[in-house]
């Protein structure tokens, strides 16, 4: 598996408008249907600082009407979370959200982990800063990646 840009659905697009209006970033939306209930998990982030419970509460209140409209007649459970300090990055579209944050990537060409702070990310590659040097990594070389805040201290 290599990293690609994830296609977003209409629910993501609808919620993203609201979340951005609150000055936050929408990282991911996951929907699970179990035992007659629909669970929607929304992951949010900030460009600076950490996501707190007040941020999650504001987003929850703002998006619950749209989530309920997306699943009419269903029992909906909505959970709004921060990415967590060791979030596994699911696809390349997440990297730009974490510019300035530490990350570790497992690379297929070296079969090893490399880490650093995300200097920039676009549609084709990631640029990490490690000890003052920049390293460009094409997404197709990344097997898996996760946030790693210890990289921020080291770099």
What would the mean pLDDT of 76-99 be, rounded to a whole number? Answer: 91
Q: What is the reported pTM?
A: 0.79
pLDDT tens-digit map of 39-84: 999 999 988 888 999 999 999 999 999 999 999 989 999 999 998 8
Give the domains, in start order, of the chain with CATH numbers.
10-81 (3.30.300.70), 88-154 (2.30.30.100)
CB 142 within 8 A of CB 4: no
pLDDT tens-digit map of 103-137: 999 998 888 899 999 999 998 999 999 998 999 99
Sequence-separated contacts (24+) of 85-91 with Cβ below 8 Å: 85/147, 85/149, 86/146, 86/147, 86/148, 87/43, 87/146, 87/147, 88/144, 88/145, 88/146, 89/3, 89/144, 89/145, 89/146, 89/147, 90/6, 90/28, 91/3, 91/4, 91/5, 91/6
pLDDT at 145 over 60: yes
Residue of higher predicted confidence among 3 and 17: 17
Structure tokens given for 89: 């990055």
């Amino acid at each position: 598996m290599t990293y690609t840009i994830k296609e977003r659905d209409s629910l993501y697009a609808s919620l993203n408008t609201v979340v951005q209006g609150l000055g936050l970033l929408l990282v991911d939306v996951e929907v699970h249907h179990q035992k007659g209930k629909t669970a929607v998990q929304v992951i949010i982030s900030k460009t600076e600082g950490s996501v707190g419970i007040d941020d999650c509460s504001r987003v929850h209140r703002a998006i619950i009407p749209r989530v309920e409209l997306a699943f009419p007649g269903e029992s909906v459970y909505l959970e709004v979370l921060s990415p967590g300090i060791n979030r596994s990055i699911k696809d390349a579209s997440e990297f730009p959200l974490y510019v300035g944050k530490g990350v570790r990537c497992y690379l297929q060409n070296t079969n090893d982990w490399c880490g650093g702070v995300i200097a920039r990310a676009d549609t084709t590659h990631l640029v990490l800063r490690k000890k003052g040097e920049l390293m460009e990594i094409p997404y197709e070389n990344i097997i898996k990646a996760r946030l790693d805040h210890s990289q921020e201290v080291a770099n």
